[in-house]
């Protein structure tokens, strides 16, 4: 479990006129499930990728457990990211996909096997272990991607719209499962989505990003204040750390 | 459905079928003509190779014999030429695959200054006719002591094909989704290990095509062999051919049986490799135009 902090983080891509993320300040507590909610292009995925180390912020700092991680390579940050497209390695079996991060950490074959079996049982995918990703449905691929993230027991889970490729029924079912799983594991989780229902049902708190420089944070069970009132509050309050 | 309605449906369906039958016939006739055009030289090769008195035209041997094959190994030292060709083409292929994988990945994925300039400069190199660079390559090889050496042959053959193969491989890498290697980085791999364990296996059709084209180019290349090699020990198959054509008073008394037997042994290994890897090659070549 870990605490994550974005401290005044900004990012602008060379090909874009305006910043993708502008002065984002955000605290995510130990074991919390925070959802980044916002429309396409508002910078929520960029914020997630900066924490993963796949993008480098132009200014500001990102801290995990109080230590800055922005100079660390993705491999040294100990965070797991579930991609929107799942990013399963197509040339490996499901078993090899799940045990890949364990092989990287040079765990013995017996220990790898034990961990893979345990996480496969947890997610109900034991029967899928010998298959290739191309032989799986969207829902099954999503479970395998989750298993690969879980098996290495990272400090932080990052999820980039992992339910967007599922049909409506499966998505509703998976939301409940995912939330229960996060509570069981107690790992700090940041979940990106543009689906308000998803955000409300899964999160402990929601950070709403309307565009790069405009964001609000609220507890999930409260209704977010109407936009105009929120703007007024922001004007009165100096720029600084936002927390519910 | 009434009988009349049914017959109307049958007629409407039959009309395009008639047209497609003519189209299919025309297409097949063209295919047969093209196939004949390309197969006739092979027919000469395989008939002349087994003919003791082969001529420059196709004639089926009255008494098929293996004598030509025996003679190329006993009189023309073809075994050494074949081994040299296999070694040079194989080493060129390995060198090209390593260099092309690294250069193609760099041009496809990494961000560095003047990248687009260098990318187009690589393409510009490919437009340069080989014969135009013959003299400087000869001078360079002589200055560096690379004439009459395996190393010289391998380096120069690998370099000749590099620009085209780099562009080809860049295209394959462009089609490998970035999130796959990003997932490998987050799983704890360095960029180089992620390239080796995730990107290259996913782009293996591209590697297959690069390896195949590189081997074929080095196997068939003649010009550099002629200007770089003048010792019998390093003679390759194209040079053996060249010498066989010159025997006994120039081109007037060519031993066609010998030339054809060399041709068969020159062509068969390449055809065998292509047939063994045809699925990978075809998938790879299709992927270059359609994406992986």
Q: Which residue has the higher pLDDT, B139 or B242?
A: B139
Burial class from Cβ neighbours inside 10 Å (0-12, 13-18, 19+) for residue A168 reads exposed
Chain B CB contacts of A91 under 8 Å are 201-202, 204
Torsion of CA A101, A104, A107, A112, to 10 degrees: 30
Task: Give the mean pLDDT of chain B.
Answer: 85
pLDDT band at A223 (very low <50, low <70, confident <90, very high): very low
In this complex, do A73 and B184 lie within 8 Å of one another by their Cβ atoms?
Answer: no
In terms of Cβ atoms closer than 10 Å to its own Cβ (0-12, 13-18, 19+), residue A188 is buried
Contacts of B187 in chain A (CB under 8 A): 75, 100-101, 104, 148, 152
Buried b (16+ CB within 10 A) or exposed e, B274-289: eeeeeebbeebbebbe
Sign of CA dihedral A143, A148, A154, A158: negative
Looking at A163-172, A223-232, B31-40, B155-164, which range is the least confident one? A223-232
Q: Which pLDDT score is estimated for B240?
A: 86
Residue B240 to residue B30: CA distance in whole angstroms: 36
pLDDT 10s digits, A113-158? 999 998 898 888 999 999 999 999 888 998 899 899 989 889 999 9
Say if residue A31 is in the same domain as residue A116.
Answer: no
Q: How far is the C-alpha of B163 from the C-alpha of B118, rounded, in Å?
A: 11
Which residues of B fall below an 8 Å CB-CB distance to A? 177, 179-180, 182-190, 198, 201-202, 204
Q: Does A89 sit within 8 Å of B184, measured CB to CB?
A: yes
> Domains of chain B (ranges plus CATH)?
23-65 (no CATH), 79-289 (1.10.3720.10)
- Residue A85 falls inside a structural domain: no
Per the rule left: phi > 0, alpha: psi between -120 and 50, beta: everything else, A23 is: left
* A232 in a structural domain: no
Q: Are A127 and A83 in contact (CB under 8 A)?
A: no
% chain A with pLDDT above 90: 45
Among chain A residues, CA nearest to B189: A75
The domain boundary residue, chosen from A135, A153, A171: A153
What pLDDT is attached to residue A242?
36
Average pLDDT of the residues in A159-176: 83
Per-residue pLDDT tens over the stretch B60-108 = 888 889 999 999 999 888 999 999 999 999 999 999 999 999 999 999 9
Tell me, yes or no, whether A142 and A158 share the same domain: no
CB B213 within 8 A of CB B274: no
A197 lies in some domain? yes
Mutation target to probe the B interface, by most B beta carbons within 10 A, among A45, A82, A91 is: A91
Residues of A with Cβ-Cβ distance to B186 under 8 angstroms: 52-54, 74-75, 77, 79-81
Residues B177-206 pLDDT 10s:
999 999 999 999 999 999 999 999 999 889
Q: Which residue of chain B is at minimal alpha-carbon distance from A76? A: B188
A56 in B contact zone (CB under 8 Å) = no
Which of A125, A153, A181 terminates a domain? The answer is: A153
Q: Kind of pairing, strands A79-82 and A156-160?
A: parallel
Q: In this predicted complex, what is the ipTM?
A: 0.83
Task: Check CB contact of A112 with chain B, cutoff 8 Å.
Answer: no
Report how many domains make up chain A. Answer: 2
Asked if A107 reaches chain B (Cβ–Cβ under 8 Å), the answer is no
In terms of domains, do A143 and A173 share one?
no
Distance from CA of A78 to the nearest CA of B (A): 8
Contact A75 B179 (CB under 8 A): no
Q: Quick one: angle between helices B3-49 and B256-276, nearest 10? A: 130
Q: Is residue A236 part of a domain?
A: no
| Of A83, A90, A105, Cβ closest to residue B188 | A105
* A66 shares its domain with A126: no
Q: Are B90 and B157 in contact (CB under 8 A)?
A: no
Sign, CA torsion A227/A57/A158/A40: positive
Write the pLDDT tens digit of every residue in B208-225: 889 989 999 999 888 888
Residue of A nearest to B191 (CA): A75
- Contact state of A73 with B185 under an 8 Å Cβ cutoff: yes
**Cβ within 8 Å, pair A85-B179:** yes
Q: Are residues A125 and A181 in the same domain?
A: no
B110-118, long-range: CB within 8 Å, 24+ apart, which pairs? Answer: none
- CB contact under 8 Å between B186 and A79, yes or no, is yes
A85 Cβ under 8 Å from any chain B Cβ: yes
Distance CA A208, CA A193 (A): 10
Task: Give the tens place of pLDDT for each residue, B262-275.
Answer: 999 988 888 888 88
Domain CATH for A54? 3.40.50.300
Q: What was the pLDDT predicted at A234?
A: 45
- Is A238 a domain residue? no
Q: Cα separation of A209 and A201, whole Å? A: 18
Do A73 and A5 fall into the same domain?
A: yes
The verdict on A81 touching B (C-beta cutoff 8 Å) is yes
Residue A235 lies in a domain: no
Give A-chain residues touching B185 at CB under 8 angstroms: 53-54, 73-75
Question: Which of residues 115 through 174 in chain A touch B, CB cutoff 8 A?
Answer: 148, 152
Cβ-defined contact of A74 to B179 (cutoff 8 Å) = no
Could you tell me if A183 and A74 lie in one domain? yes
pLDDT of residue A229: 38
Nearest beta carbon to residue A90 from set B184, B186, B202: B202
Residue of A nearest to B202 (CA): A91
**Alpha helix segments (H runs only) across chain A:** 44-52, 94-104, 109-123, 138-151, 168-185, 196-202, 227-236
DSSP per-residue letters across chain B = --HHHHHHHHHHHHHHHHHHHHHHHHHHHHHHHHHHHHHHHHHHHHHHHT-TT--SS----SS--SHHHHHHHHTS-HHHHHHHHHHHHHHHHHHHHHHHHHHHHHHHH---TTHHHHHHHHHHHHHS-GGGGHHHHHHHHHHTT-TTSHHHHHHHHHHHHHHHHHHHHHHHHHTS-HHHHHHHHHTT--HHHHIIIIIHHHTHHHHHHHHHHHHHHHHH--HHHHHH--SGGG--HHHHHHHHHHTTTGGGG--HHHHHHHHHHHHHHHHHHHHHTHHHHHHHHHHHHH--
Task: Please state the pTM of the whole predicted model.
Answer: 0.78
Mean pLDDT estimate for chain A? 84
SS3 state at A102: helix
- Position A237 in a domain: no
pLDDT bin (cut points 50, 70, 90) of residue B33 is: very high
Residue A130 sits in the same domain as residue A143: yes
Does residue A208 form part of some domain?
yes
CA nearest B200: which of B182, B174, B173, B178? B173
Range of the domain at A188: 1-78+154-225
Residue A67: pLDDT band (50, 70, 90) is very high
What is the average per-residue pLDDT within B244-259? 73
Cα–Cα dist A176/A147, whole Å: 16
Query: Do A5 and A98 fall within a single domain?
Result: no
Domain identity same for A36 and A109:
no
The Cα of B205 is separated from the nearest Cα of chain A by a number of Å equal to 12
What does the pLDDT average to over A43-65?
A: 93
Interface mutation target, options A15, A48, A51, A75, chain B, most CBs of B under 10 Å: A75
Same domain, residue pair A148 and A176: no
Q: Does one domain contain both A196 and A161?
A: yes
What pLDDT sits at residue B289? 55
pLDDT value of position B26: 92
């Amino acid at each position: 479990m870990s605490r994550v902090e974005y401290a005044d983080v900004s990012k602008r891509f060379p090909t874009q006129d305006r910043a993708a993320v502008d002065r984002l300040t955000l605290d995510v507590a130990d074991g919390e499930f925070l959802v980044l909610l916002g429309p396409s292009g508002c910078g929520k995925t960029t914020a997630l990728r900066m924490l993963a180390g796949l993008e480098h912020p132009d200014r500001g700092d990102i801290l995990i457990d109080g230590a800055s991680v922005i100079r660390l390579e993705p491999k040294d940050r100990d965070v797991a990211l579930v991609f929107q497209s799942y990013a399963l390695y197509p040339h490996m079996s499901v078993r090899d996909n799940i045990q890949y991060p364990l092989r990287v950490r040079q765990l013995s074959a017996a220990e790898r096997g034990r961990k893979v079996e345990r996480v496969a049982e947890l997610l109900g995918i034991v029967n899928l272990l010998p298959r290739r990703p191309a032989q799986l449905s969207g829902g099954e691929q999503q479970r395998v991607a989750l298993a690969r993230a879980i098996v290495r027991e990272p400090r932080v889970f990052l999820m980039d719209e992992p339910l967007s490729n599922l049909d409506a029924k499966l998505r509703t079912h998976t939301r409940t499962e995912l939330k229960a799983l996060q509570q069981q594991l107690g790992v700090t989780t940041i979940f990106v989505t543009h689906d308000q229902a998803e955000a409300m049902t899964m999160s402990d708190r929601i950070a709403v990003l309307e565009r790069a420089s405009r964001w609000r944070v609220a507890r999930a069970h409260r209704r977010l204040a109407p936009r105009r009132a929120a703007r007024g509050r922001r004007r009165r309050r100096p720029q600084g750390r936002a927390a519910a | 459905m009434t009988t009349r309605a049914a017959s109307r449906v049958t007629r409407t369906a039959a009309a395009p079928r008639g047209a497609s039958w003519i189209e299919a016939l025309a297409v097949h006739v063209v295919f047969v003509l093209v196939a004949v055009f390309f197969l006739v030289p092979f027919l000469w090769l395989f008939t002349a190779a087994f003919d003791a008195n082969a001529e420059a035209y196709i004639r089926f041997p009255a008494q098929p014999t293996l004598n030509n094959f025996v003679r190329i190994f006993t009189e023309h030292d073809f075994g050494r030429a074949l081994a040299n060709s296999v070694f040079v083409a194989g080493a060129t292929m390995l060198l090209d695959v390593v260099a092309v994988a690294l250069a193609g990945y760099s041009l496809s994925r990494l961000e560095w200054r003047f990248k687009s300039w260098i990318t187009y400069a690589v393409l510009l190199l490919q437009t340069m006719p080989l014969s135009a660079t013959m003299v400087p390559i000869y001078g360079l090889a002589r200055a560096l002591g690379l004439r009459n050496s395996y190393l010289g042959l391998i380096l120069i053959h690998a370099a000749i094909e590099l620009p085209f193969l780099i562009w080809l491989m860049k295209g394959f890498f462009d089609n490998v989704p970035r999130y796959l290697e990003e997932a490998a980085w987050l799983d704890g791999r360095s960029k180089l290990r992620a390239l080796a364990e995730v990107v290259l296996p996913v782009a293996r059709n591209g590697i297959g095509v690069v390896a195949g084209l590189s081997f074929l180019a080095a196997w068939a290349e003649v010009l550099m062999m002629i200007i770089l090699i003048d010792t019998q020990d390093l003679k390759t198959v194209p040079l053996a051919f060249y010498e066989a054509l010159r025997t006994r008073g120039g081109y007037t008394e060519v031993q066609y049986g010998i030339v054809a037997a060399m041709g068969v042994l020159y062509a068969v290994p390449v055809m065998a490799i292509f047939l063994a890897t045809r699925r990978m090659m075809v998938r790879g070549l299709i992927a270059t135009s359609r994406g992986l």
